[in-house]
Amino acid sequence: MFRKILIANRGEIALRIQRACREMGIPTVAVHSTADSDAMHVRLADESVCIGPPAARDSYLHFPAILSAAVVTGADAIHPGYGFLSENARFAEAVEAHGITFIGPSPDHMRMMGDKIAAKTAMAGLGVPLVPGSDGAVEDLDQARRVADQIGYPVLVKAASGGGGRGMKVAHTPGTLEEAWSIARTEARTAFGDDAVYLEKYLDRPRHIELQVLADSHGNVVHFGERDCSLQRRHQKLVEEAGSPALDAAARDALGAVVTAGLHKLGYRNAGTLEFLYQDGQFAFIEMNTRLQVEHPVTEMVCNVDLVREQIRIAAGETLGYGQSDIRFQGHAIECRVTAEDPETFMPAPGRVELYQPPGGLGVRVDSALYAGYVVPPFYDSMVAKLIVHAPTRDEAIARMDRSLLEFAIHGIKTTIPLHRRIIAAPDFRAGDYTIHWLERFVGEAALTKA
Active site residues: 291
Instruction: Specify the stretch interacting with ligand MV4 by CB under 6 A; choose among 49-57, 198-206, 242-250, 344-352.
Output: 198-206
Site string for ligand MV4, 121-150 (x = CB under 6 A): ----------x-------------------
Site membership for ligand MV4, residue 286 (CB under 6 A): yes
Contact 340, 413 (CB under 8 A): yes
Contact 301, 355 (CB under 8 A): no
Contact 109, 268 (CB under 8 A): yes
Length of the chain: 451
Rounded Cα gap, residues 303 and 309, in angstroms: 14
In this chain, which of 103, 199, 203, 397 binds ligand MV4, going by CB under 6 A? 203
Residues 40-69 within binding reach of ligand MV4 (CB under 6 A): none
C-beta of 243 vs 331, nearer to ligand MV4: 243
Query: At CA 205, angle to CA 160 and CA 155, rounded to 5?
Result: 40
Contact 255, 243 (CB under 8 A): no
SS3 at position 189: helix
C-beta of 200 vs 295, nearer to ligand MV4: 200
C-beta of 63 vs 192, nearer to ligand MV4: 192
User: H or E segment at 387?
Assistant: strand 383-391
C-beta of 112 vs 436, nearer to ligand MV4: 436
Contact 143, 175 (CB under 8 A): no
Rounded Cα gap, residues 246 and 277, in angstroms: 12
Q: Is 145 left (phi over 0), alpha (psi -120 to 50) or beta?
A: alpha
C-beta of 168 vs 410, nearer to ligand MV4: 168
Rounded Cα gap, residues 30 and 100, in angstroms: 16
Name the β-bridge partners of 182. Answer: none
In this chain, which of 202, 285, 374, 380 binds ligand MV4, going by CB under 6 A? 202
**Least Å from the CB of residue 59 to ligand MV4:** 27
C-beta of 220 vs 279, nearer to ligand MV4: 279
Rounded Cα gap, residues 235 and 247, in angstroms: 22
Eight-state DSSP code of residue 203: P
**Least Å from the CB of residue 204 to ligand MV4:** 7
Site string for ligand MV4, 423-442 (x = CB under 6 A): -------------x------
Cα 257 to the chain's mean position, in Å?
22
C-beta of 156 vs 215, nearer to ligand MV4: 156
Site membership for ligand MV4, residue 208 (CB under 6 A): yes
Site membership for ligand MV4, residue 287 (CB under 6 A): yes
Using CB under 6 A as the binding criterion, the count of chain residues that bind ligand MV4 stands at 16
Contact 337, 381 (CB under 8 A): no
In this chain, which of 156, 215, 349, 423 binds ligand MV4, going by CB under 6 A? 156
Instruction: Specify the stretch interacting with ligand MV4 by CB under 6 A; choose among 30-38, 173-181, 199-207, 369-377.
Output: 199-207
Instruction: Specify the stretch interacting with ligand MV4 by CB under 6 A; choose among 202-210, 319-327, 349-357, 381-389.
Output: 202-210
Contact 202, 240 (CB under 8 A): no
Rounded Cα gap, residues 218 and 389, in angstroms: 34
Residues 302-331 within binding reach of ligand MV4 (CB under 6 A): none
Instruction: Specify the stretch interacting with ligand MV4 by CB under 6 A; choose among 82-90, 107-115, 196-204, 335-343.
Output: 196-204
Interface contacts to ligand MV4, rule CB under 6 A: 131, 156, 165, 168, 200-203, 206, 208, 232, 235, 277, 286-287, 436
